[in-house]
Structure 1
Amino acid sequence: MLVDYHTHHERCGHAVGRLEEYVRAARERGLKEIGLSDHQPVLHIRPEDLLPEVAMPLEELPLYVQEALALKEKYRGEIEVKVGLEADWVAGYGEQVRALLAQYPFDYVIGSVHFLGDWDHTDSRQLAGWETRDVLTTYEEYFEQIRAAAASGLFDTIGHIDVIKRFGYKPERSWEHLLEETVVAVRDAGVCVEVNASGLRYPCAEQFPSKRMLEMMHSHRVPLTIGSDAHKPEHVGLGLDTVVALLREVGYREVYGFTGRERYAIGI
């Protein structure tokens, strides 16, 4: 395990542990780089209407960046600490996100689609949302937003690109065309795609993206990065050995890291 570019911590409300605990866990596991990438404050839902423990409050963001930058300096020479953010793509809020990101010296920004409107389809407390939705139509809506996120120019990498499958809801009709359209869109946008090991711990029981989607990405030469999506220090690096073995099977021989929002290759 060389790098882990997707981690969270206590500020987001649904993870545990201080930032430094994640850095120390990465160092102890022999990682060369650890990416700190907590959740962007939610911008499209008023705080009073937002379920608790979804993302860090807006007033915590500068404190998060300040602490992450301090850890980068503290552990220089021991492990590379990358300061990142997992940002939300929500249609109509791109410029607000752009203005927010411009205020901070991030090494990289993950773009993820957690919300379809006000519904957070990644939140286990909101599974009832599936009861009133057609699954294929929801998948179509989701992947349309992923393609828009990739094309926005806001993000360095697209996070857990097929996370819509997280809780095991899958269309009865074929949806492979959505994968192909999306892979072509991210290729054309020139963004990296994250291979996220956390899906191995959810009902879908496979990484994000699926092996089939990874095969498509390899054929289209889409660059990748990797992350555990750790929400506990002990989850740092979890599942990445499985992910790297799969990437090599598919044909990949490198993933990408980031500094100052510029990417560079890391051999696997």
Structure 2
Amino acid sequence: MKFDLHTHHFRCGHADGNIRDYVEAGIAAGLAVIGISDHTPYFGDPEEHPLPHIAMAKAEFANYVNEVLKLKEEYAGKIDVLLGIESDYFPAHAEVYRKILSQYPFDYIIGSVHSVKEVSIFNKRRWKGLNEQQRIADKEAYYALIRDSARSGMFQILGHIDAMKGNYPAFSDIPAAAAIDETLRVIADNKVAIEINTSGKTKLSGGWYPSDEILERALFFGVDVTFGSDAHTPKRVADEWEDVAKRLKEIGFTEWVYYKNKQRMPVPL
């Protein structure tokens, strides 16, 4: 059974196509389940639309939810359309996000860390001039935020947990094995899944998030895994799904999961 839980559309300001385009692409790709999971607005900012090329306007949020729910109804019997969202995790604003997101019938919420020390994880310039200890400190700060997001109880899935390598491939070589192991322990203890996200190919790092090494450790700690293409264009829906399934089996996983009504749905590999 094929599924893809991570897709975006035009409302976020940096993706192509409307939601129906992604649903139709899911059907064409043979998916049984497609999750729509665009970026939340910046609820912690007082402005209506502070970052129009990164996230949707606050006024669009209810429209987004209603559109997905209508398509869920329209496509019933053809493909299971799930209402998801990708939410940033900002500790200072977590309760604001929690309160707003709890008002809507999400099937699942993806929690993603996109910013560390108030700088985007994809900003290549953030690493310039840092010595080894400073690079280690930034990597450990990233994983500390991911641990906090797992403990928050807000999310069913954690997004792309080594995406800081996206525009800085050397990130993977910064020593932080203890921080990663502790993060995976916390994720397992809090019964949150991590996604295998195939959008790394659109960044300098190439490949998937997370690395095989992290997936091997995730299996050791008993972490659930799921699949998300992180498609920002309909043609990437379900991208490399079969390759991911094959690799997970080689690593030793026997199942992966998706979420419906925030309930864990296991799928044999």
**TM-score of the superposed pair, with normalisation by structure 1:** 0.94
Counterpart of 2:128 in structure 1 is 131
Q: How many correspondences in the alignment?
A: 265
- Which residue does 1:150 correspond to in 2? 150
Distance 1:3 1:162, change over 3 A: same
| Cα distance, 1:172 vs structure 2 | 5.4
Partner residue, 1:230: 231
Alpha-carbon distance change, 65 to 177 in structure 1, aligned in 2, over 3 angstroms: same
| Partner residue, 1:200 | 201
What letter is aligned with 2:263?
A: E
Q: Partner letter of residue 115 of structure 2? A: F
How has the CA–CA distance of structure 1 residues 98 and 252 changed in structure 2, closer, same or farther, with 3 Å as cutoff?
Answer: same
1:176 maps to which residue?
A: 177
Distance 2:43 2:216 in 1: 35
Q: Assess if the C-alpha contact under 8 Å between 1:136 and 1:170 holds in 2.
A: no
SS class of match (2:208): coil
SS of the aligned residue for 1:93 comes to: helix
Cα distance in 2 for partners of 1:45, 1:239 equals 36
Mapping of 1:92-171 within 5 angstroms? 92-122=92-122, 126-131=123-128, 133=130, 134-167=134-167, 168-170=169-171
Structure 2 residue 2 is matched with structure 1 residue 5 = no
Instruction: Please show how residues 53-92 of structure 1 align to structure 2 within 5 Å.
Output: 53-92=53-92
Q: For the structure 1 residues 181 and 29, does the alpha-carbon distance in structure 2 shift closer, same or farther, using more than 3 Å as the test?
A: same
Q: How does 1:216-255 map to 2 (within 5 A)?
A: 216-255=217-256
1:220 Cα deviation (Å)? 1.4
Letter aligned with residue 130 of structure 1: W
Q: What are the Cα deviations for residues 214-239 of structure 1, in whole angstroms up to 9, with x where unaligned? A: 11111111111111000000110112
Call closer, same or farther: CA 1:247–1:89 in 2, change over 3 Å.
Answer: same
Per the alignment, do residues 64 and 150 of structure 1 end up closer, same or farther by CA in structure 2, a change over 3 Å counting?
A: same
Closer, same or farther in 2 for the Cα pair 1:19/1:172, shift >3 Å?
A: closer
Change (3 A) 1:174 1:105: same
Q: Which one-letter code corresponds to 2:223 in the other structure?
A: V
Measure how far apart 1:17 and its partner are: 0.2
Superimposed CA distance per residue, residues 205-260 of structure 1 (whole angstroms, 9 cap, x where no aligned partner): 22111101111111111111111000000110112222111111111121111111
User: 1:114 touches 1:120 (CA, 8 Å); kept in 2?
Assistant: yes
TM-score of the superposed pair, with normalisation by structure 2: 0.93
Distance in 2, Cα, partners of 1:194 & 1:172: 21
Report how far residue 52 of structure 1 moved.
3.5
Q: Which runs of 4+ in 1 moved over 3 A?
A: 44-52
The SS at the match of 1:226 is: strand
CA RMSD between the two structures: 1.7
Shift of the alpha carbon at 1:169? 3.9
Deviates more, 1:151-160 or 1:177-186: 177-186
Q: d(CA) in 2 for partners of 1:255 and 1:172? A: 28
Distance of 1:177 and 1:202 partners within structure 2: 26
Assess if the C-alpha contact under 8 Å between 2:49 and 2:56 holds in 1: no
CA contact (8 A) 1:90 1:116 kept: no
% identical equivalent positions: 37
- The verdict on how the C-alpha distance between 1:30 and 1:172 changes in structure 2, with shifts beyond 3 A counting, is closer
Matching residue of 1:260: 261
Stretch moving more, 215-224 or 70-79 = 215-224
Deviation of the 1:129 alpha carbon: 2.6
